[in-house]
A and B are shown apart, each in its own frame.
Chain A
């Protein structure tokens, strides 16, 4: 199946024959895909095409009814979201989920993996170590907030952010967790166009850094500008897949958006 001379690095994230059903509705109907390190892959398709359900299955928020998911070659479909993040794959949500009782800065700090102060004993017995770690985390979190354009909101209550700002916070929080594979569910929806442009640059930089990005987006211009590859979904299946220019011009995509099968 795979060309021996394929110059692309092996896929970091691989799914085969994924099926997600809600009662009688088959939201994801046998989807197979692969995302390699260094790729920015856009996932497009009309509402109800199964993009978010696919994300839920990939990220571990919903166990697929059948199919395989591999991360770096290891089968992970039986694992929950927290274990998958531990393996280096994390997500943001279509409807962002800030922790409303925390400040914006602490929302980001929260996501840091392996914090010494998350252990009961370390918190009680080694406050100096926890303090030093907290200072480092706060500095790093401030950097990330700056990156996504939320500088100046660090001390605000996360619940008071606008929808667009919450999207940015979700992204900064995920970046704090340092995943190798990022699943971003409409990261630019509701975000100011100038910030969206910056976010796009950020995605390219992440990929250049050797990470894999899979993101759902409805603004096809952004997809065309930022993606190395595009996957179009319709009615739970992959309708077409390839370079952005090809897929966005493919009549099957237009048909999917217009509710017809090509």
Chain B
């Protein structure tokens, strides 16, 4: 048996695309939970909103549904982020003061409502079948899998890198410092003139917008989306990434995202190679069990994640 080097490389690049998208989504949750202590139980919903908004605005007009004006992908990414960010502001304002359990319930509820809308608002969302023919950058290379995978990894990876750097400027500076104060002791922060509501809402909106961006990236790399791409287990997966990697540190979010994506892909391969085709569908849910078990072990060994939060905030000292 010869090893197909090009095939292997293409697989690695596709894995890289998937991992980079998960890094974006996990960094968003890190912003909300790690830095601001905001419990988002509806990650999948915010990701889905970004994906559908971008897909609808970039797709060519077609018979049967309301797909849109065929804007360039970059405009779609921006629109996906803005839409998800606006949704975050709405949900955040409803869960007034954005505290603890109320926010968790509000975000969970929002995600459930969104999933129902995606499945049933067929003229807009395509219903259970979803949306297809979403433009993919470098689609001209699609008949050369290696070149296409590498190009996709390059542009998605670039966006993830820009976000990583940008979020760093925010959270490792005065903004992140005040956010930590608000997270740890709201009353002390307010007594120092900091508005807890303002900082929480900023973190929640920014995190939500970046989740939307992650969803839009998903749409433009897959080329089609359906409600099943944004199941409630997606929320669980992203939380598992963050908790394993370590909330309160960007590197933790990245590490967790890459690890869980790798585990997910590895179990996918194991299923494909070692399980008869007929049984694959039944065994696929076991992957959730594997991630859950890993999460439990991680929490036992390193309760604060592989990379724990550091004391110093300001990168300028």
Q: Does A207 contact B (CB under 8 A)?
A: no
Stretch of A116-124, A194-202, A249-257 contacting B (4+ beta carbons < 8 Å): A116-124
Q: A123-B174, A123-B175, A134-B316 are known contacts. Are A97 and B185 too (CB-CB below 8 A)?
A: yes
Q: Does B231 contact A (CB under 8 A)?
A: no
B interface majority secondary structure: helix
Among B186-242, those with CB < 8 Å from A are 187-196, 202, 206
Q: Does A138 contact B (CB under 8 A)?
A: yes
Chain A CB within 10 Å, residue with most, of B175, B190, B311: B311
Q: Are A82 and B173 in contact (CB under 8 A)?
A: no
Q: A61-B187, A123-B169 are known contacts. Are A134 and B312 too (CB-CB below 8 A)?
A: no
Q: Are A110 and B192 in contact (CB under 8 A)?
A: yes
Q: Are A130 and B174 in contact (CB under 8 A)?
A: yes
- Report how many A-B pairs have Cβ atoms within 8 Å: 113
A residues in contact with B190, CB < 8 Å: 60-61, 80-82
Q: Are B187 and A99 in contact (CB under 8 A)?
A: no
Q: Does B250 contact A (CB under 8 A)?
A: no
Stretch of A20-28, A46-54, A70-78, A101-109 contacting B (4+ beta carbons < 8 Å): A101-109
Q: A99-B180, A101-B180, A127-B169 are known contacts. Are A117 and B174 too (CB-CB below 8 A)?
A: yes
- Distance (whole angstroms) from the CB of A243 to the closest CB of chain B: 31
A interface majority secondary structure: helix
A131 vs B206: C-alpha distance when bound (angstroms):
23
Q: Are B184 and A99 in contact (CB under 8 A)?
A: yes
Q: Are B191 and A93 in contact (CB under 8 A)?
A: yes
Q: Are B187 and A97 in contact (CB under 8 A)?
A: yes
Q: Does A91 contact B (CB under 8 A)?
A: yes
Q: Does B150 contact A (CB under 8 A)?
A: no
Chain A CB within 10 Å, residue with most, of B166, B174, B181: B174
A51 vs B132: C-alpha distance when bound (angstroms):
67
Contact with A along B162-175 (1 / 0, CB 8 A): 00001001100111
A–B Cβ pairs within 8 angstroms, 18 of them: A82-B191, A82-B195, A86-B193, A97-B185, A99-B185, A101-B248, A101-B311, A109-B174, A109-B177, A110-B177, A111-B192, A113-B193, A124-B169, A124-B170, A131-B316, A134-B316, A134-B317, A177-B193
Interface residues of A (CB under 8 A from B): 59-61, 80-82, 85-86, 90-91, 93, 97-103, 105-106, 109-111, 113, 115-120, 123-124, 127, 130-131, 133-135, 138, 155, 157, 173-174, 177
Interface residues of B (CB under 8 A from A): 166, 169-170, 173-175, 177-178, 180-181, 183-185, 187-196, 202, 206, 248, 309, 311-314, 316-317
